[in-house]
Amino acid sequence: MTVTDEALKTVELDQGAVGRLSRMDSLQNQSLAKGLRERESVRLALIQEALRRLDAGTYGVCTACGGPVAAERLFVFPESGACAHCGH
Ligand SMILES: [Zn+2]
């Protein structure tokens, strides 16, 4: 079997391009997954915090001003610790 220089060059270029693309892909996936993990862990921390406040009987009390947190806000953001005024 004869492999011409031309064919070799084409194969090399193709592999290089694919390599770069998949590297970019995996970098992108990595940072996406990292962002998701960070968001999830922040949310998890908030939920654990909310559960602690449930136990302590202070759930629904704004962590910033001590005022009541509106029920509809708790319904939409059950892990929220602050009222709409101080809210995150
Ligand atoms: Zn507040």
Q: Is residue 83 part of a domain?
A: no
Question: Is the entire prediction scored with pTM above 0.75?
Answer: no
Dihedral angle, C-alpha 63, 64, 68, 70, nearest 10 °: -90
Indicate the number of domains in the chain.
Answer: 1
In a domain, 20, yes or no: yes
Question: Average pLDDT of the chain?
Answer: 83
> In terms of residue numbers, what domain contains 54?
5-76
Report the pLDDT averaged over residues 3-25.
69
Q: Burial code of 50-69, b = ≥16 C-beta within 10 A, e = fewer?
A: beeeeeeeebbbbbeeeeeb
Distance from Cα 61 to the centre of ligand 1, integer Å:
8
**Could you report the per-residue pLDDT of 53-66, keeping only the tens digit for each?**
999 999 999 999 99
pLDDT at 70 over 70: yes
The first and second tokens of residue 73, run together, are 């806000």
d(CA 35, CA 33): 5
Answer yes or no: is 62 within a domain.
yes
Whether 88 is covered by a domain: the verdict is: no
Cα Dmax for the chain = 82
Residue 87 domain-assigned (yes or no): no
CA 84 to ligand 1 center in whole angstroms = 7
Establish if 28 belongs to a structural domain.
yes
Q: What is the Å distance from ligand 1's center to 37 Cα?
A: 28
Looking at the predicted structure, is the pLDDT value of residue 35 above 70? yes
**Residue 37 belongs to a domain:** yes
**Residue 84 within a domain:** no
- pLDDT of 29 reads 85
User: What count of other Cβ atoms lies within 10 Å of the Cβ of residue 83?
Assistant: 20
